[in-house]
Structure 1
Amino acid sequence: MLIQLALGAAIIIMTIIVQVVFLGTLAAFFGNIKHWVSHGRRNLKNIIVMVFSVLWLVIGITINTWIWAFTFLIIDEFQNIENALYFAIASFTTLGYGDLLMSENWRILGSLSAVNGLIVFGLNTAFLVELMISTWGKTRIRQ
């Protein structure tokens, strides 16, 4: 059990670092183009900003699920990349179909993957809400 908790904590730290790097890069990028967004066709530019942001963050989420998939392969929990990736996506998104299960030796690690997904999706949601407020303004959301 302690090995699962230690490995899970290490993977969670790694994936949070990945996602924070993606968030920081995005924040810096939009800090540089804030002037461009605030002039001209603001609605169209705001849409472009949000679509680009979501797609960028999905890349970070994809990398994180691959980290979990490779972890599951390294510990020999799944025999092929498809099953490992499928389980990683299902648990990271907290969907958890239940058609693939981890052995008793590693099932806590699968739960930690779901906890990790909640944290990463929460970070992304907070960032996107702040981005919407800063691009569209507070009054735009209330209308």
Structure 2
Amino acid sequence: MDRVAAILGLVAGTVALQAVAQTVLLSSVGFFDRRTREATETWRTFWISLGAVLVLILGHVAQMALWAGFFLWRGVLPSFDDAYYFSLVTFATLGYGDIVLAPQHRIFGALEAACGSLMLGWSTALIFAAVSAARKRG
């Protein structure tokens, strides 16, 4: 039961951080949209895209830190550097394999990869939607 609670907590935390990033993204797109009303469409698209990507990257950095903190807290990996590196390559679904989890913890690595894939896809959709909406208003 402890494992199920940990899984649910990590997934909920990952989704909550993505929702926060989405909220900030919508605010930042509105900010850049208002600030670039007089700019050319190319510059408006550039600034809105940059704002969207930076916000979402920060959200993903926080999501990976959540997973790394869990790995460190549970003693799954020896240091935060190792835990964050493992989290980064797992979240991004690269999976280099130079750091691996013990068999009893592998489910967490697989789950992080699934969450990362979903969150990165969600971010891609948000960036597309933000740029599309900004171009329609311009």
The TM-score with structure 1 as length reference comes to 0.86
Displacement of 1:136 in angstroms is 2.9
List aligned pairs for 1:1-143, cutoff 5 A. 2-137=1-136
Count of residues paired in the alignment: 136
Structure 2 gaps of 5+ residues are none
Quote the sequence identity (%): 24
Deviations 1:78-125 (Å, cap 9, x if unpaired)? 111111111111111110011111011111011000011011111101
Which amino acid letter does the alignment assign opposite residue 78 of structure 1? L
Residues 33 and 83 (structure 1), Cα distance of their counterparts in 2 relative to 1, 3 Å cut: closer
Which amino acid letter does the alignment assign opposite residue 26 of structure 2? A
Distance in 2 (CA, whole Å) between partners of 1:5 and 1:115 is 16
Residues 88 and 19 (structure 1), Cα distance of their counterparts in 2 relative to 1, 3 Å cut: same
Distance in 2 (CA, whole Å) between partners of 1:94 and 1:69 is 15
In angstroms, what is the RMSD of aligned CA positions? 1.6
Distance in 2 (CA, whole Å) between partners of 1:116 and 1:38 is 36
Displacement of 1:35 in angstroms is 4.3
Structure 1 gaps of 5+ residues are 138-143
Distance in 2 (CA, whole Å) between partners of 1:31 and 1:96 is 36
The TM-score with structure 2 as length reference comes to 0.89
Which amino acid letter does the alignment assign opposite residue 68 of structure 1? W
User: Residues 18 and 64 of structure 1 are in contact (CA less than 8 Å); yes or no, is this contact kept in structure 2?
Assistant: yes
User: Residues 93 and 117 of structure 2 are in contact (CA less than 8 Å); yes or no, is this contact kept in structure 1?
Assistant: yes
Distance in 2 (CA, whole Å) between partners of 1:86 and 1:46 is 33
